[in-house]
Amino acid sequence: MTRYLRRRVFHALIVLWAAYTLAFAVLYLLPGDPVQAMLSSGDGPSVATAAQADELRARLGLDRPLYAQYLDMVWDAVRGDLGTSYRTGESVLGAVARSLGPTFQLTACALVLAVIAGVSIGLLSTYVKSRALRSILQSIPAIGVSVPTFWSGLMLIQVVSFRWKLLPAIGAEGASGLLMPAVALAIPTAATLAQLLSQRMADTLNETFVTTARSKGASRARIHLRHAFRNASLPAVTVLGMLVGQLLSGSVVVETVFSRPGVGRLTIQSVEAHDLPVVQALVILGALVYVAANLAVDVLYPKLDPRVDLSAGASTVRSSA
């Protein structure tokens, strides 16, 4: 087990390093000059002279050969220094760390909502007997995954704040301020989860072992919960990493819509200002969250599915079909 864990952690570190390198390649190798972009990002035509541009370039260290920039940055990153922000001049790590709190609150809240809603809809969509109700329950997630988060957020504000005047549109403190953004953020994730689960429930209920359970005299509830749900939820667990990544992506939009501070706001500000070190750090943060979630799934999964044998190394699920 520990040997397995050590190998997984090592693998996760490799992925992180590769993500770092990829982010560097995207930001520094792709055509496009950040200095020009920064100087012209204000309103109106660029007034900067070539000399000003060169000076800025030298100040940011962008005039040195790329490999030297890369090696220095990796070395700094290993020591925990992700550079300084072009925009504010403060340490990138500090800026990112400061924005983590509100975003963590938001995404954790949204994840809980998404799991509750997704699992209930997914389960009910195969459990209810009425054909009409079932097709409604199946179309809710299909619409849910198609709604852009920025729009659902705005619609919530419009209806809940302006029409019904229940919650303030923006800037509320505490739980009341968290509710609407968390709901908006949870919708696509809940819908994805519900779709996956209802599909898998339908497939699992057609499997032969469910017939065996029926022939034992088991009730519908027992068949759905004890037999089908446990098997059907396994694929949903494996996409946890993806779902958390989806939430992080969504927080960029949601924090903008609700004018909340956090990682999302920081992302938008940094992209607008072509603040490469911060953007790079945020990309790495995204990868870190994904990798950590997957690591958790890898450790957790064998406890849920006995067919996965850790000592064999690769997580090979023996096909039973």
Site residues for another protein, 148-167, by CB under 8 A, read: 148-151, 154-155, 157-158, 162
Among residues 1, 31, 47, 89, the one that binds another protein under rule CB under 8 A: 31
Report the site for another protein in 165-224 (rule: CB under 8 A).
169, 207-209, 211-220, 222
Shortest CB 47 distance to another protein, Å: 19
Let me know: does 290 contact 298? Beta carbons within 8 Å. no
Q: Give yes or no for residue 18 binding another protein (CB under 8 A).
A: yes
Shortest CB 111 distance to another protein, Å: 14
Site string for another protein, 225-244 (x = CB under 8 A): --x--xx--x-------x--
Distance CA 243, CA 275 (A): 27
Q: Which residues of 189-220 are buried (b: 16+ CB within 10 A; e: fewer)?
A: bbbbbbbbbbbbbeebbebeebeebeeeeeee
CB atoms within 10 A of CB 310: 16
Shortest CB 202 distance to another protein, Å: 11
Shortest CB 213 distance to another protein, Å: 7
The residue among 125 and 270 lying less far from another protein, judged by its C-beta, is: 270
Report the site for another protein in 113-152 (rule: CB under 8 A).
139, 142-143, 145-151
CB atoms within 10 A of CB 274: 21
The residue among 77 and 174 lying less far from another protein, judged by its C-beta, is: 77
Which of 282, 276, 321, 314 minimizes the C-alpha distance to 298?
314
Q: Give yes or no for residue 315 binding another protein (CB under 8 A).
A: no
Region binding another protein by CB under 8 A among candidate stretches 21-29, 44-52, 54-62, 110-118: 21-29
Distance CA 16, CA 20 (A): 6
Q: Number of residues interacting with another protein: please give it, by CB under 8 A.
A: 83
Which of 276, 291, 297 minimizes the C-alpha distance to 14?
291
Token duo for residue 247: 């939430």
> How open is the CA angle 254-164-259, to the nearest 5 degrees?
25
Report the site for another protein in 245-284 (rule: CB under 8 A).
245-246, 248-250, 252-253, 256-257, 267-268, 270-272, 274, 276, 279-280, 282-283
Q: Give yes or no for residue 307 binding another protein (CB under 8 A).
A: yes
Question: How many C-alpha atoms does 298 have within 13 Å on its Cβ side?
Answer: 21
% helix, strand, coil for the chain, step of 5: 75, 0, 25
Which of 245, 263, 254 minimizes the C-alpha distance to 155?
254
The residue among 98 and 222 lying less far from another protein, judged by its C-beta, is: 222
The residue among 44 and 174 lying less far from another protein, judged by its C-beta, is: 44
Shortest CB 204 distance to another protein, Å: 10
The residue among 39 and 271 lying less far from another protein, judged by its C-beta, is: 271
Among residues 1, 30, 47, 51, the one that binds another protein under rule CB under 8 A: 30
CA 118, distance to chain mean position in Å, is 16
